Amino acid sequence: MFKKLYPDMYVNSLKDIPLEKLKKMGKKSFILDLDNTVTAWNSNEVDEEIYSWFVNIKKEGFKVCLLSNNVEERVLSVANSLGIPYICRAGKPRRGSFYRALSILESYPDETVVVGDQIFTDILGGNRAGMFTILVVPIARREFIGTKIARSLEYLIVRRLKKYLGDNQEITDI
């Protein structure tokens, strides 16, 4: 059961995702969380380096969709600035919104990567939907109070994950 909470990879930020490696693995699309993955919590500002990352992955041929539990106005603003589709009020970790994103991307679970900063929404949902998952370190410490509570439980899982990983190089060091 705990395996559904483990990401396939753990990186510091979007910029650290090994695009070439994923491409060689047959990955063609990304489903990305918004808050503290693409932008700081509750912000519509996309950092210049992150914006460049999006330009690069599109140039590399990857398809991208934002998947957020946030309201449409906020998600739409960021999605429009990046020129990508989105799903708001996703209800993560339920699988339905992940499957809707697959439909938008015209992609299959085994060729799709889910990237997010939360284990109980992004990683659990992506794993339940049969996708490759990448956990990123949150962009900022400021976040929704419910997320702060979940972080204390995530800390325990990350500690357990370190033991689980051992020398496994598929996942970068935590």
Q: Where are the domains of the chain?
A: 2-112+130-165
pLDDT computed for residue 59 by the predictor: 95
* Beta bridge pairs of residue 23: none
Note the pTM of the prediction, 2 decimals.
0.84
How far apart, in whole angstroms, are the C-alpha atoms of residue 68 and residue 34?
6
Contact 66, 86 (CB under 8 A): yes
Give the count of beta carbons closer than 10 Å to the beta carbon of residue 144.
14
CATH number of 2-112+130-165: 3.40.50
Which residues of the chain fall short of a pLDDT of 50?
Answer: 167-169, 171-174
